[in-house]
Amino acid sequence: MEGKGRILTGHRPTGPRHLGHLVGTLENWARLQDDHECFFLIADLHVLTTDYTHPQRIRSSIAEVLMDWLAAGLDPERSTFVLQSAVREHAELALLFSMLITVSRLERNPAYKEQVRELGLTASLGLLSYPVLQVADILVYKADTVPVGEDQLPHVEITREIARRFNSLYGQTFPEPKSLLSHVPRLPGIDGRTMHTSYSNTIPLFASPAEIERAVMSMITDPARIHPTEPGHPEVCTIFAYHQAFNREMTPQIEEDCRRGEMGCVQCKCNLAKLLREQLEPFRRIRQELAACPSYLWDILEEGTARARPIAQTTMEEVREKMGLSK
Ligand code: TRP
């Protein structure tokens, strides 16, 4: 794996992963393990930037994320799983980096502006400096590649700015990491909007056959198509987007049948539900097995964290020295 580049990416532990995470994100991360050294971070400190009043939720959410990651093929034998709060250097490096960026730069961050809009006016200092902590997550391991969704691009840009600033002040220390966007179109949720936990339109990775059935049957198809023999418009249909994600070989045929009015939406939905039931069955099974042995999950996290910590400590020693702090 030497010389192939180091990847760091992660999720905030906010509960079970859904199909939107699988398509485009987790599938991509699993593939990247073949030719990169990967660090997968469970960013529990980041959860506190918006939700610090439910400490009892964090532990169970960490286990949820970990189970879904493993079920999706992230491999603790090949990759390193890190619990952010267990490596104190993340927080320490974030403090030092906070000197190298202005408040106004952080106030211009689109992700921050959106959160503030959503939360009302109760934004904390921690939320404002969310990206600075993320920069520390990435640079404490000197990762050079950060696979993320489009919403996270501003944070990778801030990472590059802080790395540049640090290097120009104190000498070459950090890489300027690049983002790696997956080019798979985003999966719509059951209401047709982007699948997102806060929209309550998700299908969990471990959905039961009955849940899958219910979700698929409630999805919105082409609103202009009243009768199954009328020509449909797959480009506006949620079901078709799922066929594209989970049933790629068949999509040209489905598209043709739909446009010609040869396949009705109900039939098309039934086909999709069956397919999803089959494809998601292994996730459900692996997850059930994992749920039966929680200590295995915590062992993986502890092991990965123990592997990551010395790397973070070495970076921190270098940074402390360069910034004139005591050993
Ligand atoms: N902010 C990321 C998200 O919400 C999670 C995250 C925290 C992250 N630290 C990171 C992602 C470092 C990539 C690299 O999805």
Strand 80-83 to 37-42 pairing: parallel
Q: CATH number, domain at 313? A: 3.40.50.620
Domain count, the chain: 2
List the residue whose alpha carbon is closest to atom 15 of ligand 1. 11
Verify that 26 and 157 share a domain, yes or no. yes
Is 278 inside any structural domain? yes
- If you average pLDDT over residues 216-238, what whole number do you get? 86
Is 107 inside any structural domain? yes
Verify that 238 and 106 share a domain, yes or no. no
Verify that 51 and 143 share a domain, yes or no. yes
Q: CATH number, domain at 256? A: 1.10.240.10
Tell how far the Cα of 124 is from the centroid of ligand 1, in angstroms: 18
Verify that 142 and 248 share a domain, yes or no. no
pLDDT of 224 reads 80
List the residue whose alpha carbon is closest to atom 8 of ligand 1. 10
Indicate whether 3 pLDDT > 60.
Answer: no
List the residue whose alpha carbon is closest to atom 14 of ligand 1. 9
Verify that 162 and 213 share a domain, yes or no. no
Q: Distance between CA 25 and CA 14 in Å, rounded?
A: 16
Tell how far the Cα of 194 is from the centroid of ligand 1, in angstroms: 19
Strand 37-42 to 6-11 pairing: parallel
| Chain segment 179-215, per-residue pLDDT in tens | 999 877 789 999 888 888 878 899 999 999 999 999 9
Give the least confident one: 156-170, 213-227, 283-297.
Answer: 213-227
Nearest-10 Cα torsion for 179, 185, 186, 187: -150
| Chain segment 264-289, per-residue pLDDT in tens | 889 999 999 999 999 999 999 999 99
CB distance 90 to ligand 1 below 6 Å: no
Closest CA to 8 of 45, 39, 43, 44: 39
80: which residues sit within 8 A by CB, 6+ positions away?
37, 38, 39, 40, 304, 307, 308
- If you average pLDDT over residues 294-305, what whole number do you get? 96
Percent of the chain with pLDDT over 90: 76
Q: Are 253 and 224 in contact (CB under 8 A)?
A: no
Verify that 259 and 315 share a domain, yes or no. no
CB distance 10 to ligand 1 below 6 Å: yes
CB distance 9 to ligand 1 below 6 Å: yes
| Chain segment 84-101, per-residue pLDDT in tens | 999 999 999 999 999 999
Tell how far the Cα of 10 is from the centroid of ligand 1, in angstroms: 5
Tell how far the Cα of 129 is from the centroid of ligand 1, in angstroms: 13
Q: Among 6, 9, 62, say which to mutate for ligand 1: greatest number of ligand atoms within 8 Å of CB.
A: 9
* Enclosing domain of residue 222: 206-288
Verify that 254 and 279 share a domain, yes or no. yes
Say how many residues make up the chain.
327
CB distance 111 to ligand 1 below 6 Å: no
Is 70 inside any structural domain? yes
Average pLDDT, the chain: 93
| Chain segment 113-142, per-residue pLDDT in tens | 888 887 776 789 999 999 999 999 999 999
CB distance 11 to ligand 1 below 6 Å: yes
- Confidence category of residue 2, pLDDT binned at 50, 70, 90: low
Is 194 inside any structural domain? no
Indicate whether 11 pLDDT > 80.
Answer: yes
Percent of the chain with pLDDT over 70: 99
Tell how far the Cα of 12 is from the centroid of ligand 1, in angstroms: 7
Verify that 172 and 59 share a domain, yes or no. yes
Tell how far the Cα of 269 is from the centroid of ligand 1, in angstroms: 34
Indicate whether 250 pLDDT > 80.
Answer: yes
Verify that 9 and 149 share a domain, yes or no. yes
pLDDT of 230 reads 84
- Confidence category of residue 41, pLDDT binned at 50, 70, 90: very high
CB distance 180 to ligand 1 below 6 Å: no
